Amino acid sequence: AEVARVLTTETGSLGVRGHAVERWSVARSFETVDLDGHQVGVKVSTGRVKVEHDDAARVAAATGLPLREVVARAEAVWRDSQPE
What single DSSP character describes residue 75?
H
What is the rounded average pLDDT for all residues in the chain?
A: 93
CB count, 10 Å around CB of 48? 11
* Integer Rg of the chain from CA: 20
pLDDT in tens, 63-73: 999 999 999 99
Query: pTM surpassing 0.75?
Result: no
The residue type found at 22 is: E
d(CA 60, CA 50): 16
Let me know how many helices (H) and strands (E) the chain has, helices first: 3, 3
